[in-house]
Amino acid sequence: MRKNVFSKIICCCGAFAVLTGLVWAGDKLDAAAQARFASAEVSAVPRHIQVALDAGHGGMDGGCVSVDGTPEKGINLDIALTERELLTVMGYDVSLTREEDKAIFDEGITGLAKQKQSDMKNRLAVFDSAQDFAISIHQNQFTDSRFSGAQMFYSRRNSEGERLAAALQKQFVTLLQPDNERETKPVDDELYLLDKTDTPAVMAECGFLSNPEEAALLESDEYRRQVAFTIMTGALVYTGGDRAQYTEPVVTDEETAE
């Protein structure tokens, strides 16, 4: 196992060294050397796809509350933790904004407004650090308890976020909610994380806690696992389209062992 990891690291370093060398040498390479590089079998290996997951709210901020008084924050966290497990197994590198029931404002900050500001800035930093995409997990609420169903939000100025939202929305309909006719929704600056990050990002409102049936589902372990799985398949659809963007060229061991 360790040998395997080592050989991969060595393999990547070797490829990097070859590419750097090629750039440096440029036209100075003689014809024979150029022929040698041309015949070397350069393959492409997938790099880990980097994802940020945000469990909405936390700590003093419970988010919206179900009809029986369950706050959204715990449901969001549970889905996010399961999502991390799933995506990790699929080979993604996952960063979470929080792993427990707490806000993530900087130490020493006092006053609710400033704490909230710092909390959101820190969540944004996690989103910005993810190279590929980010998902903020939330639950919805409305005055009319008949409303139900997941809905994905994305920034109007991020077309990749729109594509991710469409993939997720479609998977919710396909796997979980066949009657869900909601459309993905673009937002401007009303959702801070989506507006401020350049990472393709979606706010996934997984369901309505104001709807008694959907709230009961979201409060069950099994349904939350299904939600996490649904999001994972959306992520796979989103990242599966173009493997080339998640790969880096690598020269095989044979070619590097000179």
Closer CB to Zn ion, residue 18 or residue 203?
Answer: 203
Closer CB to Zn ion, residue 57 or residue 84?
Answer: 57
In the chain, what is the greatest distance between 2 CA atoms, to the nearest angstrom?
76
Nearest distance, CB of residue 175 and Zn ion, angstroms? 22
* Residue 187 CA to its chain's centroid (Å): 19
Closer CB to Zn ion, residue 56 or residue 149?
Answer: 56
Instruction: Rule CB under 5 A: say whether 14 interacts with Zn ion.
Output: no
Nearest distance, CB of residue 139 and Zn ion, angstroms? 6
Instruction: Rule CB under 5 A: say whether 63 interacts with Zn ion.
Output: yes
Q: Rg of the Cα trace of the chain?
A: 22
> How far is it, in rounded angstroms, from Cα 82 to Cα 85?
5
Nearest distance, CB of residue 223 and Zn ion, angstroms? 18
Stretch that binds Zn ion, among 89-97, 133-141, 154-162, 250-258 (CB under 5 A): 133-141
Stretch that binds Zn ion, among 1-9, 52-60, 158-166, 186-194 (CB under 5 A): 52-60
3-class state of residue 154 by DSSP = strand
Contact positions with Zn ion (CB under 5 A) in 137-156? 138
Closer CB to Zn ion, residue 56 or residue 58?
Answer: 56
Instruction: Rule CB under 5 A: say whether 56 interacts with Zn ion.
Output: yes
Nearest distance, CB of residue 209 and Zn ion, angstroms? 9
> How far is it, in rounded angstroms, from Cα 81 to Cα 94?
10
> How far is it, in rounded angstroms, from Cα 76 to Cα 203?
12
Stretch that binds Zn ion, among 57-65, 104-112, 182-190, 246-254 (CB under 5 A): 57-65
The pairing of strands 42-46 and 247-251 is: antiparallel
The single-letter DSSP state of residue 76 is H
Stretch that binds Zn ion, among 111-119, 135-143, 158-166, 173-181 (CB under 5 A): 135-143
Q: And the tokens for 109? A: 């900050």
Non-local CB neighbours of 111 within 8 Å, separated by 6+ positions: none
Q: Which residue is nearest to Zn ion (CB)?
A: 138
Instruction: Rule CB under 5 A: say whether 84 interacts with Zn ion.
Output: no
Q: And the tokens for 27? A: 């036209």
Q: Which helix (H) or strand (E) holds 52?
A: strand 50-55
Nearest distance, CB of residue 128 and Zn ion, angstroms? 20
Instruction: Rule CB under 5 A: say whether 71 interacts with Zn ion.
Output: no
Helix residue ranges, H only, the chain: 2-25, 31-39, 72-89, 112-129, 159-171, 192-196, 212-218, 221-240, 253-256
Interacting residues toward Zn ion by CB under 5 A: 56, 63, 138
